[in-house]
Chain A
Amino acid sequence: MKPPPLVQSSVRIFDLSLGQMLWSRRSVFLGVLLGGPVLLALALRIVSTLYEAGFRINGVRAAGASIFGMMIWLLYLRFIVPILGVFYGTALIADEVDDKTITYLFTRPIPRRAVLFGKFLAYLACTVLLVLPSVMLVFFLVVPTGGGSIGAAFPSLVGDFGMLIAGLAAYGAVFAFVGTRVKRPLIVGLVFSFGWEPTVLLLPGYLKRLTVAYYLQALVKHEMPQDSAVSVLMQVFREVPSVAASLVCLAAIVAGTLWLSGRAVENREYVLEQ
């Protein structure tokens, strides 16, 4: 019997996995992670409405669009997107191995790589459907404060959406690869996201090209906040590739790591611990 084609099989796995991902215990963590910025935005809005002085940074009244840009940089780009990639990406196959349920999927008459691709699509849909509404709420709560204009800031929001989707896809694909190859993928993922990437971005030279953040930061239109000495250093050694080059590199990262992950899943023999 001929197995169903890859795309059809991936869609079946996607359908099965989306619900599992959304209603898992990990989603509580995801909810807290994405509810935080919304609550923070709500608090800023209340402060701005109640106190005429509004929200001030270093004694200067901060404009809503600037605060929103800062939240995109500090909360979403530097923290939420990488951490979602680490937690969900590394778990795509590792969870099935830990739960000893991978056998049920691999014994189906579908290509093994379809399991990974379907789960990756489910991860992307799950995170995009949660992250983008969270950013949308933050945008509408924060931007009008301090005399900001929704219309003027709207193009940057659309750009942010594109950047966040690209970031979630790239980090997810990289950590999916890590999840298929490494024994303790979560630790490797955390070290990569919060150790390797920030360190390398601070250094002059070519090493920063071996990060996802380097290409992702080129897609951000907001000013990089200078909230700490590290940020100032980052600003100094910041080397921004063109948007087109970044998009090509991110697409190559997603395609390359997914292909390698698919190959690993096809060839690797998973021995389940008894």
Chain B
Amino acid sequence: MTTRTRYFVIVSLLVLGIGLGTGLVAYYVGFPAGAFAKHAGPEELGFIPRDATVIAFANVQEIMTSDVRQRLRSRLPLKEDGQRELQDRTGINLESDVDRVVACLHPDTTTTNMPGAGMILARGRFDEAKIEALMRDHGAHVEDYRSKRLIVGEFHEAQGNSFALSFMEPGLAVFGSTKLVRSAIDLHQAGDNPQAGLQSVVGNEELMDLVHALDTGNNAWAVGRFDALTSKAHLPDDLSTRLPAITWFSVSTHIDGGIRGVIRADARDEEAANNLRDVVRGFMALAKMQAGSRPEMQAMMQSLELGGAGKTVALSFDVPSQVFDAIGAIAGQKGIRPPVH
């Protein structure tokens, strides 16, 4: 064998060896998310388990500073109890500390909770020491998990439900069911590892295709499996049989001067999609009749557009800023005043 033939064989075997070695490491240990390519949607999706039933995203900063929110805030007495409770329990101020959030619901078989377990991944600026101290004051304790600090609190102690908060990297907080937070840390550190049964939602082609369509030009969206949600809802038989046969649903909105968006449902087959279109058409006609005498409402109703083809039913809407002014005016007539900040 000549020298150049030997070199060729060595180079070829090296390429194969490196490739197979890398593949084996990816298969058994996993790679950190995004090691080889960027996926669609926010990068936090790489930390959500593959079998999540619902995923939602919100660009909190854009929504909080939007004209719609400012108008509503100045005219309506919006109760911000949930926001306050989150701040009380975790020290996180949703308005100033958080840039964007990604949330998910997971079909947890160990719990009887209706939607299953949940988790929120938030990007922003967090005072980790303050948040940890506040949570400890509320009875939480600290655990170590894969060299990350996990602040674990209990709720519904009798049922053994617990929630946890962890800072996976500077500026990224994960909060939710302890089991989900642990799997998020696993995915963050090792990436997809099919051998260990650990895969992120990024590998779910069907869902990611929907996510990609939603992620362009919207500052809030949600997507999920309708059938998985209804199966957990323990609905009465006669009601569950009347529900439209929807597999996937998604809602995408852009909140700025107004709210525009699309509600989309993927039916099981074309017949189910046609039935659903008929139902929606009926509701639209009723709503247009109700809006009759109010020009600002009429503008909104005129913006409703039913679309979609085949198994997909889509309803687009555009709520103009005048509608929020009208809501404010109605509230004013009824003597409802906004809170003094």
B205 engages A146 (CB within 8 Å): yes
A242 at the interface (CB under 8 A from B): no
Q: B50 to chain A: closest CB distance in Å? A: 10
**With A129-B13, A151-B191, A151-B195 as given contacts, are A136 and B37 in contact (CB-CB < 8 Å)?**
no
- Report the tally of A-B residue pairs with Cβ distances under 8 A: 109
Q: B290 to chain A: closest CB distance in Å? A: 37
A140 at the interface (CB under 8 A from B): yes
User: A144 touches which one: B5, B27, B37 (CB < 8 A)?
Assistant: B37
A205 at the interface (CB under 8 A from B): no
A150 engages B5 (CB within 8 Å): no
A154 engages B24 (CB within 8 Å): yes
**Stretch in contact with the other chain, from A16-24, A83-91, A266-274:** A16-24
**With A129-B9, A130-B12 as given contacts, are A149 and B194 in contact (CB-CB < 8 Å)?**
yes
- List residues of chain B with CB within 8 A of the CB of A152: 192, 194, 199, 203
B295 at the interface (CB under 8 A from A): no
Q: A222 to chain B: closest CB distance in Å? A: 14
State the CA gap A66–B26 with chains docked (Å): 18
- List residues of chain B with CB within 8 A of the CB of A4: none
User: B12 touches which one: A49, A54, A129, A158 (CB < 8 A)?
Assistant: A129
Task: Mark contacts of A36-53 with chain B using CB atoms, 8 A cut-off: 1 yes-contact digit, 0 otherwise.
Answer: 000000000100110011
B27 engages A151 (CB within 8 Å): yes
Closest to B29 in A: A151
Q: Which of B22-42 contact A (CB under 8 A)?
A: 22-24, 26-28, 30-31, 35-40
- List residues of chain B with CB within 8 A of the CB of A145: 37
A19 engages B23 (CB within 8 Å): no
- List residues of chain A with CB within 8 A of the CB of B30: 151
Q: A143 to chain B: closest CB distance in Å? A: 8
B31 engages A150 (CB within 8 Å): yes
Task: Mark contacts of B1-16 with chain A using CB atoms, 8 A cut-off: 1 yes-contact digit, 0 otherwise.
Answer: 1101100110011011
B88 at the interface (CB under 8 A from A): no
User: A54 touches which one: B31, B193, B212 (CB < 8 A)?
Assistant: B212
Helix, strand, loop or mixed for chain A's interface? helix
A149 engages B192 (CB within 8 Å): yes
User: A53 touches which one: B20, B22, B193, B212 (CB < 8 A)?
Assistant: B212
- List residues of chain A with CB within 8 A of the CB of B199: 149, 152
Q: Which of B216-236 contact A (CB under 8 A)?
A: 216
**With A136-B16, A149-B192, A150-B31 as given contacts, are A15 and B26 in contact (CB-CB < 8 Å)?**
no
A225 at the interface (CB under 8 A from B): no
- List residues of chain A with CB within 8 A of the CB of B134: none
- List residues of chain A with CB within 8 A of the CB of B38: 49
B246 at the interface (CB under 8 A from A): no
B95 at the interface (CB under 8 A from A): no
Q: B323 to chain A: closest CB distance in Å? A: 32
Closest to A129 in B: B12
A120 at the interface (CB under 8 A from B): no
Q: A35 to chain B: closest CB distance in Å? A: 14
State the CA gap A139–B22 with chains docked (Å): 12
User: A139 touches which one: B19, B39, B194 (CB < 8 A)?
Assistant: B19
B209 at the interface (CB under 8 A from A): yes
State the CA gap A220–B38 with chains docked (Å): 28
Task: Mark contacts of A59-80 with chain B using CB atoms, 8 A cut-off: 1 yes-contact digit, 0 otherwise.
Answer: 0110110100000000000000
**With A19-B1, A60-B209 as given contacts, are A147 and B40 in contact (CB-CB < 8 Å)?**
yes
State the CA gap A63–B203 with chains docked (Å): 9
State the CA gap A129–B15 with chains docked (Å): 10
**With A133-B15, A149-B194 as given contacts, are A52 and B37 in contact (CB-CB < 8 Å)?**
no
A154 engages B27 (CB within 8 Å): yes
B2 engages A147 (CB within 8 Å): no
Closest to B209 in A: A61
B208 at the interface (CB under 8 A from A): yes
What are some 11 contacts across the A-B interface (CB < 8 A)?
A: A53-B212, A61-B208, A132-B12, A133-B12, A133-B15, A133-B16, A150-B22, A150-B23, A151-B28, A151-B192, A152-B203
Q: Which 10 pairs across A and B sit closest by C-beta, in order of nearness?
A: A144-B37, A144-B36, A151-B26, A136-B19, A147-B39, A154-B23, A129-B12, A149-B192, A133-B15, A150-B26
